[in-house]
Amino acid sequence: MDQNSTRTFRSRKARAILAGGLVLGVGAVFTLAAWTDNEWVFGQNDNGTAGPGTQVYHMEQNTWTGASGAAAWSSQGSKNGGALTFTVNANQLVPGAVVYAPMELRAAAGSQALTALLAEGVQAIPTAEPTNSPSLYAALTYSVKSGVTKAQCNAAGFAAAGTTLVAAGQPLTATSSTPISLPAGASGAAGTPVDICFALSLPSTTDTTLQGKETTPLWRFTSTVGS
């Protein structure tokens, strides 16, 4: 092989090594180095502090069952929940009688403002005669107003004040489409309470076969945010 041919062969061999990587010995491969530059980003909220997060939407109830009927706020998300106390002599109803029970709802500390609805009325289970009578539950009617305070939650106050949520004479299963606005509290405190008053009636036409019976009605207030 002449000198020119030798140089051409060596040049082609060098280009082949550079293109495919240089192999030395058994299993050792060297490749050309690459330059890599990365850019990372992270998510934060619009005031430039923490990352994306969620708000708090949470309400709580007061059914005036604390010591001496004082306010006792709690969250009761499951049946049977807080106990409404109907007075006077609610277990001794006669036809035409009406008894009243006050309660309150509010946005819990740290919660955003809420819009609540009286969304469900059911009888507690298990049902049994005479201690949780389905027939007495079906016979009773009720009405509900917001804006009626504990002191007003009686015959005179109920007639004179408040916003009707459930009209008089409705079955205990009746619900309401009237919103209850629960404002948020300032600086993370609980919001201002909204007073609610229940009026429970035994109609004057009630049959005598319902004497000596009791029943346990349940109602659910709900607030939904988002889809």
What is residue 109's predicted lDDT score, i.e. its pLDDT? 95
What number of other Cβ atoms are within 10 A of residue 93's Cβ?
A: 21
Q: What is the pLDDT of residues 118-146, one digit of tens each?
A: 999 999 999 999 999 999 999 999 999 99
Q: Give yes or no for residue 8 having a pLDDT over 90.
A: no
Whether residue 33 lies inside any domain: the answer is no
In this predicted model, what pLDDT tens digit does every residue of 185-209 receive, in sequence order? 998 899 999 999 999 999 999 999 9
**Domain presence at residue 27:** no
pLDDT band with cut points at 50, 70 and 90 for residue 103: very high
Predicted TM-score (pTM) of the model is 0.80
Position 182 in a domain: yes
In a domain, 18, yes or no: no
Q: In whole angstroms, what is the distance from residue 36 CA to residue 41 CA? A: 17
The answer to whether residue 16 sits within a structural domain is: no
81: left (phi over 0), alpha (psi -120 to 50) or beta: left
- Return the pLDDT at 185: 94
Q: Is residue 53 part of a domain?
A: no
pLDDT digits (tens, 9 = 90+) for 40-99: 888 887 777 777 888 899 999 999 987 778 889 999 999 999 999 998 888 999 999 999
Q: Which domain holds residue 120?
A: 60-222
Residue 185: burial class (beta carbons within 10 Å; 0-12, 13-18, 19+): middle
> Token pair of 74, please?
């709690």
- Give the chain's domain count: 1
State the pLDDT at residue 2: 56
